[in-house]
Structure 1
Amino acid sequence: MLAPWLVHLVLWPPLLVSVVHIIGFTGYTTWISFTSSTLIPENDFVGLRNYNSVLASRNWTIATENLLIFGTGFVVLTTAIGLTLAVLLDQRIRAENVLRTIYLYPMAVSFVVTGTVWSWLLNPSIGIQKLVRGLGWEAFRFDWVVDRDMAIYTIVIAGAWQASGFAMALFLAGIRSVDADLYKAAQIDGAGPWRIYRRVVLPAIWPIFIAVMVILLQYTIKTFDLVRALTGGGPGIATQLPSLVVYDLMFQRGLLGRGSAAAVLMLLYLLAVLLPYFAFVQWRKRRNARHG
């Protein structure tokens, strides 16, 4: 056995380095957001000027609207597909392990690869539209990726394809953890499969729903590489998200102060999702302790 001091020596230094790294750079980025920094960091305090500039910009307005559309569509579609797959796999079908592996496989693919492949599939000249028209349906159209009004939904589709297997795994684990006595009691009462899932299983796994939604929402806010590979933020700026605005301000336009302000606003969006979840977890622990 390892000596206790050796265990602490192995465990704590990396943790401390990570904490200092995260807190240090978050603090530094926050400070830069209150300065007039461009290509080179400055130390002059300009108050909320950068935040006002970012919030008043058309890019940030469109990015925020797209974030709402993408977040809503992605979370709803991914949750629905994941839950459906979990319920189907829970029927103890043959080749369950093979199907579960296939559904989980997209999670092993990087978001850059996902975006690139879906950009090919959705490209009107080489993808699905060309394939269907080649089969004789000349009037078929599926050119969302080049349509300003529909392009954001291509990101929803690609994101849901990527994450549905992850949602399925969590839901399936939750379903399989439901007490067997609840199933037996429902069957004795004459409940069919649909009613058992609706009245017994789904209410029992509602904490899983909360966890899945929070994880998907925080992924939504941080999404960058999927959009970059799939649409590049286009057509024009039709699929801009906050992360792409940060990248554009910092690394393409050299506006370090404004880019830092946009990054801090992204952090606030993320905290708006995570803090209520942490509060919910603590409340649930206290409630279980009182009734335990």
Structure 2
Amino acid sequence: MARSASSARAALRNLLPRLVLSPSVALIAIFVYGFIAFTSYLSFSDSRMLPSYGWVGLSNYEKLFSLRTWDIALNNLAVFGILYIAICCVLGLMLAILLDQRIRAEGFIRTIYLYPMALSFIVTGVAWKWFLDPGIGLEAVMHDWGWTSFKFDWIKNRDMAIYTVVIAAVWQTSGFVMATFLAGLRGIDAEMLRAAEVDGASTFALYRRIVIPQLRPAFLSAFVVLAHMAIKSYDLVVALTNGGPGTATEVPATFMYSYTFTRNQMGIGAASAEIMLLTIAAVIVPYLWSELREKR
């Protein structure tokens, strides 16, 4: 009898976590993966204003890649993504190395660097829109101070507007990258660094040959997070430039929203969403595979 009660309690202990987690698993299966599958189906349908189930095969993808706006969105994503990731990594590494010198008020300075991450991209976009607006922002202030020849109208310039998105995104995210690299720096064996210094290694050689190579996991983590944020960037672009001037700052996320909910081309919008999903998967899946392989 006692053995039977003990077996029942053990079975209940094993079953209880599954019962607790099952609602969350069911909701994720329906509202995440279910809607991903539904969007994938819509991308092969003739859906326009409302979902439709007429099968058109790859027609929406062919139309998508024939659109000039989609080409502009992809080019902007490439420019934005490359500059965003590169500048954030370089700036984040420099800030992390600076804080790793055990400077005074390190906690306060680290908080200042991390503070932008506490803001939403909408707030960041609106604030930088005001700051960069030639009529009320930096250019107007400089003119009021007497520098009437100063000009900074990138946000109104079709050729330069995408770089304002880069500036705002770097300002918001570089603190997060700094924290990632700082955690990696604090995890490096101090004895190894002391041994290299005793052997006569210069500071530059120390960082180039020992420190930075050991930050590879931090670099990979930062790259994956930043690439994911760049590909799905929507709120920052909408708040800062709304895709303009014209389509100068159009990116795949704004393109998808526009064609799905404004132009009533749901099939093409779903196709663009699938391209974004595949792009994100191309970044994340190899990273997860390498992490799992290392653990094994």
Instruction: Report the TM-score range of the alignment, normalised by the length of the smaller protein.
Output: over 0.9
Query: Corresponding residue for 1:289?
Result: none
Residue from 17, 22, 29 that aligns with 1:19: 29
1:134 positional shift: 1.8
Equivalent residue, structure 2, for 1:146? 156
Q: How many residues align?
A: 285
Q: Which residue of structure 2 aligns with residue 238 of structure 1?
A: 248
TM-score, with structure 2 as normaliser: 0.93
Question: Which letter does structure 1 place at the counterpart of 2:53?
Answer: N
**What letter corresponds to residue 61 of structure 2 in structure 1?**
Y
Which of 65, 68, 71 is 1:58 aligned to? 68
Deviation of 1:4 (Å):
4.9
Q: Which has the larger radius of gyration?
A: 2
Give the Cα separation in 2 of the matches to 1:12 and 1:189. 58
Cα drift, residue 3 of structure 1: 4.9
Structure 2: runs of 5+ lacking an equivalent: 1-11
- Within-5 A mapping of 1:187-226: 187-226=197-236
Residue 84 of structure 2 corresponds to residue 74 of structure 1: yes
Deviations 1:222-245 (A, max 9, x none): 000000000000000000000001
4+ residue segments displaced more than 4 Å: none
In the other structure, the counterpart of 2:4 is none
The yes-or-no answer on 1:44 pairing with 2:74 is no
CA RMSD of aligned residues (A): 1.4
1:227 aligns with 2:227: no
Separation in 2 of the partners of 1:221 and 1:179? 35
Name the residue aligned to 1:126.
136
Letter in 2 for 1:275: V
**Residue of structure 1 equivalent to 2:110:** 100
- Secondary structure of the residue that 1:14 maps to in structure 2? helix
- Work out which of the residue numbers 114, 121, 132 in structure 1 matches 2:124: 114
Q: CA deviation at 1:137?
A: 1.4
The one-letter code of the counterpart of 1:272 is A
TM-score (norm 1): 0.94
2:294, 2:84 → 1: CA distance?
27
* Aligned AA (1:96): E
Give the distance between the partners of 1:223 and 1:40, measured in 2 at CA: 25
SS of aligned partner of 1:47: coil
Residue 83 in 1 paired to residue 93 in 2?
yes
Q: CA deviation at 1:255?
A: 1.3
Letter in 2 for 1:77: I
